[in-house]
Amino acid sequence: MKHKHSQSGQALILIVMTIVGLVAMVALAVDGGNAFADRRHAQNAADAAALAAALAKINDQDWRTAAMGRSISNGYNNDGVHNTVTVSNPPGIGCNGVNSPYAGNDEYIQVVIRSTVDTFFGSVVGINQMHNCVEAVARAREGAYAPLYNGAGVVALKPNGNSAFGNVGNVTLRVRNSGVFVNSNGSCAMSVNGNVSLTVDTQYAVVGGFCRTGNVTVNGPVVTGAGQVPYPPSINVPPPNISCSGEGYRSGNTYYPGHYNNISLSANGSYTFAPGNYCVDNGISISGNISLTMNNVNMQLNGGSFAIAGNSSVSCSNFLFYSTGSAGGMHFNGNSGNNCNGVTFYLESGNLVWNGNVGNTFSAPTSGPYANLLVYMPYGNTSGLTINGNSGNNIIGTILAVQSPITISGNSGTTGFRSQIIGYTIQFNGNANTTIDYRDSDNFDIPSPPTIELVR
């Protein structure tokens, strides 16, 4: 007789194996979930710590303390047992054991958090701890100064329509060390008509199209379809703060600071405005054969215009002119020759005109709030800026007329524009012969604010 062998022991083994498998699955679900939750929390903590460090660095504070403080507040205290927190500027070795791609660049701050998570069920299968490593890199870029419109020597800001940048007549224009930017999306945003010769050292960047008629020579590439910039631009140059106490007065041929209803000079001779602040309500008129000197003078014109005519001339140094209220701006007419250094014309209202046989030598200040800004006509002033006649000009500094048309025409021989010319529209007409020698060091830069960003 054959006896059957008992198989009850096999069932017990299967049950034990099943229990072990279930424990392993529970361990994977619970302990793995805990490790994943810790990793996500650690990454958030590293991101926050890196941004805190970047902000502290921008503000000239202790960036390491800022990072550690934010890490501790998120539960990672760098105790060396449960977690370690490493803050590096510039970044060093990351979680992958190799140098960060930002290594050596002190604009970047790296936070690495290594954490240990104790298991609940993993010890059953020999896993007592699980480890995470996370990394965050933030960039702390300090504020800087940058040229307007990437340093284009001639900029027409008009956003639509034709002839934003135009040339009509016997025009010769040379832009050295730079080019032309035309912001309009019109089909003939750049329009050239007549006997015209245009030369740039870089390019003509035009958002819209380019149209030409007549004998036109264009040296330098015309790149249509350029990216349009927002209009009006976010350029905010603060207005001057000129205050006048008491009434101004004249003694002999010298004027002294203070408040004036108007100033009129017509008798030939030499006159001086003594240093200080002048507030004039109804204009300044200078005619005849006048020689006027103004050094270290701030002048606010509330009405009328500052008009120079005849054979009069102005010499000035450190001169700030502010046209506001209902003022009509500043006009140089006749045969006057004017020579000023460290000068800014801030025209909140009114126009700026250089007319007739005028020879002007103007240079912008090299320091202070208006450093390298020669002419500023802010958004809201739609009056024109015009250079006419047989002008022989030597100009240093930026001409920025946000909503104003700029016209250079007549028999203008302007070979000394070390300027950036920015207007709503730009027109070179008549027999204009103009050279613009753009140099960033001579022109107005706008501040770019400090920034922080998480890059990794």
**Residue spans per domain, the chain:** 9-142, 148-448
pLDDT of residue 354: 79
pLDDT of residue 170: 86
pLDDT of residue 28: 64
- The helix-helix angle for 63-73 and 8-58 (nearest 10°) equals 140
pLDDT in tens, the chain (456 residues): 555 555 556 666 666 666 666 666 666 667 678 888 999 999 999 999 999 999 999 999 999 999 999 999 999 999 999 999 999 999 999 998 889 899 989 999 999 999 999 887 666 566 778 899 999 999 998 877 889 999 999 999 999 999 999 988 888 889 999 999 999 999 999 999 989 999 999 999 999 999 999 999 999 999 999 999 999 998 989 999 999 999 999 999 999 999 999 999 999 999 999 999 999 999 999 998 999 999 999 999 999 999 998 888 899 999 999 999 999 999 988 676 789 999 999 999 999 997 756 568 899 999 999 999 999 999 999 999 998 755 567 889 999 999 999 998 766 555 568 999 999 999 988 777 888 999 999 999 988 778 889 997
Count the residues in the chain.
456
* Under 8 Å between Cβ of 191 and 166: yes
Token pair of 24, please? 């392993």
CA distances from 401 to 35, 154, 215, 268, 383 (A): 61, 12, 30, 34, 9
> Minimal CA–CA distance to 379: which of 337, 348, 408?
348
Beta-carbon neighbour count of residue 380 at 10 Å?
Answer: 10
Torsion region of 117: left, alpha or beta (phi above 0 gives left; psi -120 to 50 gives alpha): beta
| Cα gap 244→178, rounded to integer Å | 42
Residue 168 parent element (H or E):
strand 165-176
Instruction: List residues bridging with 175 in a β-sheet.
Output: 200, 436
Provide the CA 252 distance to its chain's centre, in angstroms. 47
DSSP 440: G
- The predicted model scores a pTM of 0.75
pLDDT of residue 29: 67
